[in-house]
Amino acid sequence: MRDFFNSTRKDLKSYLSEISESVVHAVSLLKYVYKNAPAKPWETPTLSIKLKKIINNSFYLKPLEIICFQESKLDSTIKFVFNLKDSAQIETVLMPEPHRITLCISSQVGCRQACSFCQTSRMGLVRNLTTGEIINQIYTVKLWLKNNSDWLIKNNYDVNSTVSNIVFMGMGEPLDNVSDVIRSIDIITDGNGFEIAQKRVSVSTAGHVDGLKKLHNAFPRIPIALSLLNPFESERSKFMPINKKWPISEVIKTLIQIQKENNKFVFIQYPMIKDFNDTKKHAIKLSEILEPLNARINIIHYNPINDANFETADSGNIQLFRDILHNAGYMVTVRKSNGQDISAGCGQLIQKKKK
């Protein structure tokens, strides 16, 4: 049996051709499943009885098992913990924002990038998620929203509202699993799939140059968020080992190339850590290295994690830092991560390994 969520439109067409059925049914199947969220994809009304039987025997479609659910008292952010078929667990975060509902999804179980400020890195890489597991996070949360209109009403949404924006910022470095991330974006943005515009799907990276190029070739309009952390190569390499392979100068060169073709902003994520990356010297260097880029900077109040000696930078330093960048002509936003009281913020996602 195949996981229905693993199939792009192209995959469904090839499957239908293999069984000598018309490829037009691929569109009906996708449309029906992603718009109506039925329990069984073979209920698609336009299919013949024979094809319904074949689909029934070939595919399964099952939402993920929710094993834990926490809602923030601070901002209504919800953290879901899902159990996968092999009992691996992943986290997905639902964030209410003005005029949109954003879902932060995972691309891997754990992560191999070993960034020292991030809780997920403590797991190491357990495995990549399949396309089906990435897509099913969205499907399951959409179903949950359909059945929990009270959360929508409480957050001032219409009862028919659903997930409108996707960010690949959950567990994992998305570009370490670039082929499944690209296949998922294919389904997310397909007019017969989740039908979410490319500009509403963003991918965050620690600076994976090969993955950036592949993603850009497949989906040139997808916004990129770069987790920068420190503008000095040697300091960055110490806390983000990926910088030894792809120095920040090379990442920026790649992003300049990408921007020549798509003319989009690159979002710079800058978690501010006390006595580490919060000085005037860092702000000036950051403004220099970003100069050739069309960048928007998000300064994030760092979320402390259990086993590291990092602290959130002082508010005064954050303000000074912001002013230096603002005066240099950048658009700068200072923000706190959502769901801090439920450990759903940036860099706080972790699941214990099964013994």
User: Which positions are annotated as active-site residues?
Assistant: 91, 346
Residue from 96, 223, 304, 347 in contact with ligand SF4 (CB under 6 A): 347
Give the range of 21-29, 77-85, 115-123, 273-281 binding ligand SF4 by CB under 6 A: 115-123
Give the range of 8-16, 81-89, 116-124, 269-277 binding ligand SF4 by CB under 6 A: 116-124
Among positions 144-183, residues that touch ligand SF4 (CB under 6 A) are 172-173
Give CA–CA dist 297/248, Å, rounded: 16
Nearest distance from residue 140's CB to ligand SF4, in Å? 21
Residue from 44, 102, 107, 120 in contact with ligand SF4 (CB under 6 A): 120
Query: Contact between 332 and ligand SF4 (CB under 6 A)?
Result: no
Give CA–CA dist 145/168, Å, rounded: 20
Nearest distance from residue 175's CB to ligand SF4, in Å? 9
Q: Which is nearer to ligand SF4, 55 or 215 (CB)?
A: 215
Residue from 55, 78, 88, 118 in contact with ligand SF4 (CB under 6 A): 118
**Size of the residue set binding ligand SF4 (CB under 6 A):** 11
Query: Contact between 91 and ligand SF4 (CB under 6 A)?
Result: no
Q: Which is nearer to ligand SF4, 118 or 196 (CB)?
A: 118
Q: Binding string to ligand SF4 for residues 184 to 223, with x set by CB under 6 A, is what?
A: ----------------------x-----------------
Give the range of 30-38, 117-125, 147-155, 300-308 binding ligand SF4 by CB under 6 A: 117-125
Nearest distance from residue 172's CB to ligand SF4, in Å? 6
Query: Contact between 111 and ligand SF4 (CB under 6 A)?
Result: yes
Query: Contact between 121 and ligand SF4 (CB under 6 A)?
Result: yes
State the residues that interact with ligand SF4 by CB under 6 A.
111, 113, 115, 118, 120-121, 172-173, 206, 227, 347
